[in-house]
Amino acid sequence: MTDIVLAGYGLAETRAPHHRDPLDIMAEAAILAMRDAGVAAREVDGVFTATAQASLPSLALAEHLGITPRYLDSTAHGGSSNLSHIAHAAAAIRSGAIDVALVVYGSTQRTALKDTGTRPAVAHVPPFEAGAGALFPIASYALMAARHMHEYGTTREQLSSVAVAAREWAALNPAAQLRDRITVDDVVASALISTPFHKLDCCLITDGGGAIVVMSAERAAARGLRGVRVRGLAEASEHLTVSAMPDLVSCGAVLSGRAAFEQAGIGPEDIDVVQIYDAFSINPLMILEDLGFCAKGEGGPFIEAGHTRPGGKLPLNTSGGGLAFTHPGMFGIYTVIEAMTQLRGEAGDRQVSARTAVAHGIGGTMSTHATLVLEAPAG
């Protein structure tokens, strides 16, 4: 089977509300990624994007960049979309349908919030849950957290430790938006939003975008590129709404993780660094368990013990994640870009010793999942 590599990436970061179009942000990230990979727009023949703010986004971006695509994919199922795009791009490359893929995301949700005072329309309450008066999606995740606390004795302090660790990593990342270190007491003292979540348990709302160039390892080698190898990739979903979730303390990550590790031929014990979409503090805790990095019910003590912080045995969300680095909506692409940054040895003060990484994206209310197992460039 053809080996696939991630040959380049680009980040279009914006710290404050502005008046750029999401397409402009996507184009900036794409140009940076192509430059990083040494690829011209005319060489790209597959474009994969997802955004809640544009119609026909892949075609629009292709036209904007002067790309004549042989393959378009605008699959959109939340924060796992871009990881799914990498899986779809890999399949298209292996089939011979395309040679070079561009996977892109961009959003101006912070600007939209400032201009209108409302969240984007995508943040609607599911019709069968509207009667409960729940605020979507935070109440759904809060329900999972409360159930995890009930079943396993997970504590408020353990949830807070997720946010504390995120800030410790963010303090090492010059691009992070929240770099001040915090304590468990700071998290608990912040405003209560949806029990048990306080404000500091919740992700940022920002503008921004990212892009990744995907190609075969053979093509990358011919260009002298040291691409990050994709060893395993898998997708899974079990429900859409939290009211239909089979188990409030477990999710589709069990399935996507198992399949990705099987494909990679390695297990959780072989992974050096992990990046997980952390929209809320419960996310990394549950996903670490479901991917097999610790037993069910042990995610809280594992994080509280400091294992995921700088210097810990399993570095997690080394950019600061969605809780402290940035969060322009579908954060999944950022998990992959940070994994690439670490595996290429380009992370600066937050650099860890890593040959292998996992990136995991989540869409909806723990609804869709995509897991990538990655390996550092050879040499």
Where do the domains of the chain lie?
4-114+205-222
Please report the pLDDT score of residue 112 as a whole number: 65
Please report the pLDDT score of residue 54 as a whole number: 73
Token pair recorded at residue 303: 């994080």
The answer to which of 104-108, 154-158, 269-273, 314-318 has the lowest mean pLDDT is 104-108
Q: Residue 134 to residues 97, 127, 195, 261, 367: CA-CA distances in angstroms?
A: 44, 11, 12, 36, 17
Q: Report the alpha-carbon distance of residue 59 to residue 27 in Å, rounded.
A: 12
Confidence of residue 123 (pLDDT cuts 50, 70, 90): low
The percentage of the chain sitting over the pLDDT mark of 90, rounded to a whole number, equals 85
Topology of the domain comprising 4-114+205-222 = Peroxisomal Thiolase; Chain A, domain 1 (3.40.47)
pLDDT in tens, 213-228: 999 999 999 999 989 9
Q: Residue 3: name the closest of 261, 265, 213, 220 by CA.
A: 220
The percentage of the chain sitting over the pLDDT mark of 70, rounded to a whole number, equals 95
Confidence of residue 378 (pLDDT cuts 50, 70, 90): confident
Q: Residue 125: name the closest of 117, 135, 116 by CA.
A: 135
Is 299 in contact with 268 (CB distance < 8 Å)? no
Please report the pLDDT score of residue 261 as a whole number: 99
Give the mean model confidence (pLDDT) for residues 60-79. 95
User: What pTM was estimated for this model as a whole?
Assistant: 0.95
Please report the pLDDT score of residue 364 as a whole number: 94
Please report the pLDDT score of residue 118 as a whole number: 52
Q: Report the alpha-carbon distance of residue 184 to residue 300 in Å, rounded.
A: 13
